[in-house]
């Protein structure tokens, strides 16, 4: 518990935490407000703002916000996980804990547990910010916000949120494991981003294989028959995507696998520097 | 039990290689309880590798380690609860303050008593800057914080790798006094350093390694007494005769003449024999044009670490006399 609480304190004081959250929430606000502000502007013939207005029209806006958070949030989670894990090696702080007799795998796993919690809090806050921004956008566009209290949409949210959190945490774990194997913050972030976008492009040519890879299963796991999922990031909607329930099982498998790899590698690693 | 009672730290046949490079080739250390132990060796001799092995950061290829009288292996990390360490450069989270870094470090390993962090900030002279981010600390301040971090759990054994790095003269003196005080309190301080003068003033026991093996170990006073070196300079024309005279008087195995250092003869003898050597030469009609007493750690260190390590480096604490590098050998002399 001491280590978990310590992990949370460290993350809360870290610039990377606030920058990641700020980027996610900032982009969300920008899009929602921009959509609302420009929805009624004159457009060239043949174009209308109706499609864009669905982003700020409730209850569909809930799905749009989640889709954005879970899509871009996956990329951010990979980078964030890699940054936190890599810095332990780059700065040499893992060395301190090991030299004090701390269990290596316990340290790694509890560090990640604190990341998972911070990701959950970040997603929740980003969602709240997104809903606020969508309300502003709706008001700017003159769209009714009556769907805000739609019972069916609100009822779906907890499950969507839980699936989304698990998917994002899995992507964070992947970045965490890559940076641990690379023993480097920068190498971990670079490899995580390459893996993220590489998976998207590989999906064009090898959809039957790529659909089982971490980013694709994460995307598929949040597709609960609504518009949520896909859309905004790597591993976007793919024709060969798995069904959501199979995908969530694979998400958990990738999550556990990533953490086991990170813990085992750390347990056996020779720590220097 | 490899070290017997009364040893805070003991290694036997400790071996470690990195690929084809051998870092430790059978290291035998015996560190008594309650002393300041100076661990010396040239760059690449294996000091940091030893420190890493002693703190479980890396894994040994062969040999054994005992920490505070009990075996220390991969599954014995709890032994480190009684050990404090500063290995290589101090490592901290740059975005946290000094105080916060200590607080977060205290969350790992052995529990830290309440108030201990403030006590250590006071001890290391960092209280004024304890709220500042470590990113803004000088090397010396980070070093002080590193020493504070090593002391967090009030360890019985302290392992410090080059603790004087970056410290100003006042900081070095303060550190020396702190480490001496810790030893007086019954704690064992194992310290590696390149500052030989500093080590000579600070340590009770010294261990010198070269090429991954122990070449000398023992109470520093005994080691220096046994290993004193006197250097005599004569004119090149008289070098051969002077060597013969001194060889006859002191034993030729105690002499070294190096081609790199023309005119100089190195004699293994304690410094109090300098007058006797001068008199011996004068009696033979040879006038020394230079005499140096080499009874200090620096000369001993240079002599030992330029030579081959002795075959019997094992268990030399309290028994160094028979395990001395051959000063008279062609490889063992001062250059």
Place of tokens 């998400």: A251
Give the residue on A whose Cα is nearest the Cα of B134.
Answer: A91
Beta bridge partners of B157: B83, B188
Q: Which helix (H) or strand (E) holds B207?
A: strand B205-210
When mean pLDDT is compared over A38-42, A107-111, A197-201, B213-217, the highest value belongs to: A107-111
Question: Which tens digit of pLDDT belongs to each residue from A21-57?
Answer: 999 999 999 999 998 888 777 766 556 667 778 888 9
Of B76, B318, B103, B321, the closest CA to residue B219 belongs to: B318
In chain B, where are the structural domains located?
Answer: 7-218, 229-294
Please tell me which of the candidates A91, A107, A270 has its beta carbon nearest to residue B93.
A91
Residues ≥6 apart with Cβ < 8 Å to B13: B26, B27, B28, B62, B63, B64, B314
| B244 three-class SS | helix
Is ipTM beyond 0.95?
no
Q: State whether B78 and A273 contact (CB < 8 Å).
A: no
Which DSSP string corresponds to B36-104?
EEEEE--TTSSHHHHHHHHTTSS--SEEEEEETTEE--TT-GGGGGGEEEE-SS----TTSBHHHHHHH
Contact A199, A101 (CB under 8 A): no
List residues in chain B touching A: CB distance below 8 A: 52, 55-59, 77-81, 83, 85, 87-89, 91-96, 100, 103-105, 107-110, 149, 152-153
What is the per-residue pLDDT for A100?
Answer: 94
Name the minimum distance, in Å, from the CA of A214 to any CA of chain B. Answer: 31
Neighbours of A219 (CB within 10 A): 33
Architecture of domain B229-294: 2-Layer Sandwich (3.30)
**Chain B residues with beta carbon closer than 8 angstroms to that of A102:** 77, 108-109
Choose the mutation target among A100, A106, A269 for the interface with B, i.e. most B CBs under 10 Å.
A100
Rounded to 5°, the CA angle B215-B221-B227 comes to 50
Question: Which tens digit of pLDDT belongs to each residue from A208-239?
Answer: 888 898 888 988 888 754 444 444 444 444 54
Question: Which tens digit of pLDDT belongs to each residue from B211-257?
Answer: 899 988 999 888 877 767 788 999 988 999 999 999 999 888 888 88
Q: Average pLDDT, whole number, for chain B? A: 83
Round to whole Å and give the CA distance between A199 and B106.
41
Place of tokens 């980003």: A126
Q: For domain B7-218, which CATH number applies: 1.10.10.60, 3.40.50.300, 3.40.50.970, 3.40.630.10?
A: 3.40.50.300
Q: State whether B58 and A2 contact (CB < 8 Å).
A: no
Beta bridge partners of B25: B15
List residues in chain A touching B: CB distance below 8 A: 2-3, 5-6, 9-10, 13-15, 87, 91-93, 95-103, 107, 270-273
Q: How does DSSP classify residue B189?
A: E
Q: State whether A92 and B57 contact (CB < 8 Å).
A: no
Please tell me which of the candidates A10, A92, A272 has its beta carbon nearest to residue B104.
A10
Kindly report whether the global pTM for this prediction surpasses the value 0.80: yes
Strand order in the sheet with B70-71: B21-32, B7-18, B62-67, B70-71
Give the residue on B whose Cα is nearest the Cα of A271.
Answer: B57
Instruction: Band the pLDDT of B294: cuts 50, 70, 90.
Output: low
Place of tokens 């480097």: A184
Give the residue on A whose Cα is nearest the Cα of B72.
Answer: A101
């Amino acid at each position: 518990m001491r280590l978990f609480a310590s992990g949370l304190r460290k993350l809360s004081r870290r610039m990377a935490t606030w920058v990641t959250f700020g980027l996610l929430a900032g982009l969300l606000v920008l899009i929602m407000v921009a959509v609302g502000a420009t929805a009624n502007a004159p457009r060239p013939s043949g174009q209308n703002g109706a499609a864009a207005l669905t982003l700020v029209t409730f209850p569909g806006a809930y799905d749009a916000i989640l889709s954005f958070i879970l899509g871009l949030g996956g990329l951010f989670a990979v980078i964030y996980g890699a940054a936190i894990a890599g810095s332990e090696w780059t700065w040499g702080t893992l060395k301190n804990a090991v030299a004090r007799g701390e269990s290596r795998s316990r340290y790694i796993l509890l560090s990640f547990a604190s990341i998972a919690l911070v990701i959950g809090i970040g997603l929740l806050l980003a969602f709240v910010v997104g809903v606020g921004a969508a309300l502003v956008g709706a008001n700017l566009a003159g769209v009714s916000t009556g769907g805000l209290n739609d019972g069916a949409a609100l009822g779906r949210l907890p499950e969507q949120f839980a699936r989304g959190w698990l998917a994002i945490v899995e992507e964070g774990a992947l970045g965490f494991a890559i940076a641990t194997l690379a023993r480097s913050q920068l190498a971990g972030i670079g490899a995580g981003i390459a893996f993220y976008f590489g998976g998207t492009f590989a999906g064009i040519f090898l959809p039957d294989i790529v659909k089982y890879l971490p980013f694709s299963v994460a995307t598929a796991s949040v597709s609960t028959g609504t518009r949520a999922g896909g859309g905004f990031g790597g591993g976007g909607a793919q024709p060969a995507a798995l069904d959501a329930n199979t995908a969530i099982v694979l998400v958990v498998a990738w999550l556990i696998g990533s953490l086991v790899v990170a813990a085992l590698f750390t347990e056996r690693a020779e720590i220097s520097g | 039990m490899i070290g017997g009672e009364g040893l805070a730290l003991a290694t036997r046949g400790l071996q470690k290689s990195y690929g084809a490079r051998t870092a430790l080739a059978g290291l035998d250390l015996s560190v008594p309880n309650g002393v300041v132990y100076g661990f010396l060796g040239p760059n690449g001799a294996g000091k940091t590798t030893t420190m890493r092995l002693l703190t479980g950061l890396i894994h040994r290829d062969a040999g054994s380690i005992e920490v505070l009288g009990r075996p220390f292996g991969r599954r014995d990390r709890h032994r480190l609860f009684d050990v404090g360490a500063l290995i290589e450069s101090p490592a901290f989270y740059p975005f946290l303050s000094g105080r916060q870094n200590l607080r977060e470090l205290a969350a790992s390993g052995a529990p830290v008593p309440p108030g201990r962090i403030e006590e250590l900030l006071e001890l290391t002279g960092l209280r004024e800057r304890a709220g500042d981010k470590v990113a803004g600390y000088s090397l010396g301040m980070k070093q002080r914080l590193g020493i504070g971090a090593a002391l967090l759990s009030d360890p019985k054994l302290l392992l410090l790798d080059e603790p004087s790095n970056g410290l100003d003269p006042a900081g070095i003196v303060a550190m020396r006094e702190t480490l001496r005080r810790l030893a007086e309190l019954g704690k064992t301080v194992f310290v590696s350093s390149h500052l030989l003068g500093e080590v000579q003033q600070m340590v009770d026991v010294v261990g010198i390694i070269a090429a991954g093996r122990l070449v000398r170990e023992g109470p520093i006073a005994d080691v220096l007494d046994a290993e004193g070196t006197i250097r005599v300079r004569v004119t090149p024309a008289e070098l051969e005769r002077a060597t013969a005279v001194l060889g006859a008087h002191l034993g030729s195995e105690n002499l070294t003449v190096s081609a790199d250092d023309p005119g100089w003869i190195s004699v293994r003898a304690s410094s109090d024999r300098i007058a006797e050597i001068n008199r011996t030469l004068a009696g033979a009609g040879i006038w020394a044009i230079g005499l140096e007493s080499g009874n200090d750690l620096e000369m001993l260190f240079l002599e030992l670490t330029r030579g081959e390590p002795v075959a019997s480096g094992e268990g030399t604490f309290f028994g160094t006399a028979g395990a001395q590098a051959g000063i008279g050998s062609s490889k063992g002399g001062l250059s």
